[in-house]
């Protein structure tokens, strides 16, 4: 754990998440701890949730605005992909312009945790084998995506939302990955 903390500090992550998701309310502590990593930029004012066809639909009040997103019910485990996507969307919608983003800390030193760090630190953790990342996995992580396979979106709205988010990150960062992803997604729509 010491080498892990040489890369990111205790105030940039947490790994003490619920072992069991009983229902949507089990996520409240995770959301609050994630927002605490932003040093006061985000804080949870209110949370409501509904169970709907194998998903939890959330409405989080943050910075006096309601943010909505859904998480899959994955047995009693945290839906890490959608949790991170939802938190990062709230971050962007709230006007955050820093370099840090939420990322999951799966594998390595923890079963699950959340960090608020730069993409460079996330990459370093992955390179050192301290978090699990598989290059080429699709968004859900259930199948390996091969080079040349199309990117499949649930809806055109999802595609446009991703492009909008990537464009915002591209305008705020010197990292060429955002532009490359935008170009890739646009080229597949032709």
Could you read off the pLDDT of 88-109 as tens digits, one per residue?
999 999 999 999 999 998 876 5
Q: What is the pLDDT of residues 33-50, one digit of tens each?
A: 999 999 999 999 999 999
**Residue 129 neighbours by CB under 8 Å, 6+ apart:** 108
∠ at Cα 87 (139, 113), nearest 5°? Answer: 75
User: How far is it, in rounded angstroms, from Cα 16 to Cα 102?
Assistant: 16
Domain ranges of the chain: 2-133, 145-190
Query: Which carries the bigger pLDDT value, residue 133 or residue 28?
Result: 28
């Amino acid at each position: 754990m010491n080498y892990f903390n040489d890369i990111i500090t205790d105030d940039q992550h947490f790994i003490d998440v619920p072992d069991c998701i009983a229902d949507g309310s089990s996520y409240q502590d995770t959301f609050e701890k994630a927002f605490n990593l932003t040093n006061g930029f985000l804080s949870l004012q209110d949370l409501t949730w509904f169970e709907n066809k194998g998903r939890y639909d959330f409405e989080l009040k943050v910075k006096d605005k309601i943010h909505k997103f859904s998480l899959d019910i994955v047995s009693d485990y945290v839906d890490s992909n959608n949790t991170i996507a939802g938190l990062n969307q709230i971050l962007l919608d709230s006007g955050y312009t820093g370099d840090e983003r939420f990322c999951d800390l799966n594998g390595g030193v923890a079963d699950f945790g959340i960090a608020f760090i730069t993409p460079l630190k996330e990459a370093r953790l992955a390179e050192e084998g301290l978090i699990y990342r598989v290059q080429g996995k699709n968004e859900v992580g259930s199948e390996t995506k091969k080079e040349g396979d199309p990117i499949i979106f649930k809806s055109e709205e999802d595609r446009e939302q991703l492009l909008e988010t990537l464009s915002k990150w591209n305008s705020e960062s010197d990292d060429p990955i955002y532009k490359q992803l935008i170009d890739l997604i646009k080229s597949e729509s032709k």
